[in-house]
Structure 1
């Protein structure tokens, strides 16, 4: 039954991972502190899945991710995701996030309003924190109120988010402090 596979690939921000099954991509793993930790994180999520050469559609997604992280404005909208098992609310958040073009941002509140009301902002943030496909679902383009960076659950936290936004040329209202 387990038709999941994964591959590791180079980007401008480090070695990323991607996992897929027959129906599409299930996960993108941003770089951990080492390639071995990136592999381990994928296997932690999906069990002892096999590393494999990506099929053409997955290779195309990898090439798009590499381009985007090299500063080319690829919106990755053609990438097919398999989000079975992801709650419907989260899929709605991800669908909206996927409409944000490279170099642009929305706030958690903007997405919450589209889903029914600004009071859903925290739920939007939680959904984005559980995003299985960062970059393809560009959660890094979703900011807190006032254009502040907000949180980012990937390795490196907010500094990784800011680096990705800078690559895309997005404007973020951020004053670094000693803890960044």
Structure 2
């Protein structure tokens, strides 16, 4: 394993319109969302999380049931704001600050430019650092890094791929649905 102190956690996967999501939670809250969580990706994610959290996962519990229910409601268009406890332990420093600002300050159906988010953090030269923070987001979808776009109107990057970003923005009414 690792020298990290053992923390209990659990893992499950959820089928969604953007593909399977791997979900991990600790007693403190949702700690990880993983895109494309087929068997192989899930096995690697579980191994990585076991190293970071110091233990193997336990069986899913009530928190992951609630995470799954809220994500299902989100993808069905019935939920606009997640009300889940979040465990921020897999991020720190500037990245954590940027992700917390995104989580609290960019609501459903809106977007923010990388530079604007840097400005909100009082770091006007940090647009690229904001991009790096979004790319390292351990809790995507719930902490909505898909809502961060380029100042000129481009989508920018996304850990789940630009088609997934496009689909999430279309779900929230920001972009039109693809024609095919």
Within the alignment, does 1:40 sit opposite 2:18 as a pair? no
Alignment check: 8 A CA contact 2:11 2:23 kept: yes
Listed as ranges, the gaps of 5+ residues in structure 2 are: 1-5
Select which of 142, 149, 152 maps to 1:143: 149
Structure 1: 5+ residue stretches without partners: 173-180
Judge conservation of contact 2:11–2:46 (CA < 8 Å) in 1: no
Aligned length: 166
Deviates more, 1:42-51 or 1:97-106: 42-51
Give the TM-score of the pair, scaled to structure 2.
0.83
What is the TM-score with the length of structure 1 in the denominator? 0.83
Aligned residues of 1:7 and 1:51 also touching (Cα < 8 A) = no
Question: 2:20 is paired with a residue of what secondary structure?
Answer: strand
2:13·2:20 contact (CA, 8 Å) conserved in 1? yes
1:110 to 108, 116, 125: 116
1:41-80 correspondence to structure 2 within 5 Å: 41-47=44-50, 49-50=56-57, 52-55=59-62, 57-76=63-82, 78-80=83-85
Runs of 4+ in 1 over 3 A off after TM superposition: none
